[in-house]
Amino acid sequence: MTTQNVVWPLSLLGIGAVTLVFVFVISQARIPATADETRHHTHTAHVIQAWFFGLLLAGFGLGTWLTLRHFPIPAQHTPLQADAVVDVEGFMWGWTMQPQTARAGQTVEFRVTSKDVNHDFAVYGPDGNLVAQTQAMPGFVNKLLVQFQQAGDYTVQCLEYCGVGHGFMKTTLTVSDREDN
Ligand SMILES: [Cu+2]
């Protein structure tokens, strides 16, 4: 089940709820109210508003905590406990990658930089799905930690438009089978 399949019906439900509120307000518009009723309704509206924003805040807080608890970007200034290191440099229009191989199951640290302009180092799996990506920036080394689950040929592709040769800025990373224990 993808996120879209969950978000789409939830959005529809939300839109439906908002529509119902509007229909209710419009249907009540012509009914005259006494001062007491108005005061009472105003108070109720403020209570609902306070609860609504409170729940919204709690929801966003919880969502942020759940999704960012395991921050996907590794520490950039401390040594990483990786099994292997691959040095990557992007240039117009290609990649130098040292070494160009990795082993499935190992944690690989990519140290990504650029010779000229901003590029984006993206690794696609043998099935065509995006596995990992980070910016390749001149003057900076961005670290990326990847644990390859399956052996095969992975395609490295630039994802930051960098000139006429951008679409051809590809190379291959070969991931070999797990070491037998
Ligand atoms: Cu590019």
Q: What is the DSSP string of 22-64?
A: HHHHHHHTTS---HHHHHHHHHHHHHHHHHHHHHHHHHHHHHH
Residue 43 has pLDDT above 60, yes or no: yes
pLDDT at 140: 93
Residue 113 has pLDDT above 80, yes or no: yes
80 near 143, Cβ under 8 Å? yes
Share of the chain above pLDDT 70, in %: 98
Distance 83 CA to ligand 1 centre (A): 29
45 near 38, Cβ under 8 Å? no
How many angstroms separate the CA atoms of 30 and 27, rounded?
7
Q: What mean pLDDT do residues 107-126 have?
A: 95
pLDDT at 170: 95
Residue 180 has pLDDT above 60, yes or no: no
Distance 169 CA to ligand 1 centre (A): 6
Sign of CA dihedral 168, 114, 131, 63: negative
Domain boundaries, the chain: 3-68, 84-176
pLDDT at 181: 47
Distance 137 CA to ligand 1 centre (A): 12
How many angstroms separate the CA atoms of 76 and 129, rounded?
25
Q: Determine the residue type at 126.
A: P
Distance 157 CA to ligand 1 centre (A): 8
How many angstroms separate the CA atoms of 127 and 105, rounded?
17
Q: Which CATH superfamily is domain 84-176 in?
A: Cupredoxins -  blue copper proteins (2.60.40.420)
pLDDT at 1: 57
pLDDT at 55: 97
CA-nearest of 164, 91, 76 to 121 is 91
pLDDT at 68: 84
Condensed to tens digits (0 to 9), the pLDDT of residues 136-147 reads 999 999 999 999
110 near 133, Cβ under 8 Å? no
pLDDT at 56: 97
How many angstroms separate the CA atoms of 76 and 44, rounded?
51
User: Which residues sit opposite 158 in a β-bridge?
Assistant: 121
User: Which range has the worst mean pLDDT, 44-58, 69-83, 120-134, 154-168?
Assistant: 69-83
Residue 151, helix vs strand vs coil: coil
Q: Give the mean pLDDT of the chain.
A: 91
Distance 118 CA to ligand 1 centre (A): 8
Distance 105 CA to ligand 1 centre (A): 29
- Name residues with Cβ closer than 5 Å to ligand 1, which is an ion: 119, 158, 162, 166, 169
Condensed to tens digits (0 to 9), the pLDDT of residues 63-112 reads 999 988 887 788 888 888 889 999 999 999 999 999 999 999 999 999 99
How many angstroms separate the CA atoms of 42 and 36, rounded?
10
